[in-house]
Amino acid sequence: MRKDFYIFRHGETDYNKERRWQGCGIDAPLNTNGIKQARELAEKLIPFKIEHIYSSNLKRARQTAEICAEKLNVGMEVIPNLREGCFGEVEGMLKSEIALRYADIFKEWYSPVDDMTIRFPGGESKQEMQQRMFSVLEGLLKVPYQRIGIASHGSSIRYLLYKFGLPPHQMPNTALFHLIYENEEWTLE
């Protein structure tokens, strides 16, 4: 049995534009550019023949998923565990403020030599995000769809894909990744 997961980050919000960290505690909607990006993403997804989309419960991912699902004429369901990580005290702060105030943690956040236990005060660790996201994928192995879209968030996607060999990196809004499960093995294309 083969399953294809097309995992994508949500479109832009005003917080993204301002370079503020949202985390799971800030439920910002897409801005005008984010809606445009989601429509462009939907066009890119057409050739993959996605059968169903699952989304984070946060507005920015949900709106992106809804735009894509409508264009692809497929169903969409919310799975809260696809949400962004909890960043505790830094949610709502500018990246530049975080880099100054929490310099050591911020430096390690995107580091390719990765300490997965790192977290911001009051937040979720990279490892906890990765485990949460991976358990959603394992659950989706049981659904009847073979080609699945997943709308989620930058950090949650980043540390999920680190499990499959993609080094931590910053990703643009609506970045798209293809993860395959076949013969009990996972492959990131």
Catalytic residue among 12, 52, 84, 153: 84
Number of domains present in the structure of the chain: 1
For residue 30, give the H/E element and its range: none
Helix axes 32-45, 59-72, angle to 10 degrees: 40
Write down the pLDDT at residue 162. Answer: 93
Residue 109 binned pLDDT confidence (cut-offs 50, 70, 90): confident
Is 184 a residue of the active site?
Answer: no
Strands of the sheet containing 75-78, edge to edge, are: 75-78, 52-55, 147-152, 2-9, 176-182, 185-188
- Those residues with Cβ within 8 angstroms of residue 115's Cβ, 6 or more apart along the chain or in another chain: 108, 126
Question: Distance between CA atoms of 151 and 62, rounded to whole angstroms?
Answer: 7
Q: Residue 144: is its pLDDT beyond 80?
A: yes
The model's pTM: 0.96
We report the CATH number of the domain holding residue 130 as 3.40.50.1240
Taking only the tens place, the pLDDT of each residue in 150-170 is 999 999 999 999 999 988 788
The predicted-structure confidence for 166-175, as pLDDT tens digits, reads as follows: 887 889 999 9
Range of the domain at 134: 2-188
pLDDT, residue 114, reads: 67
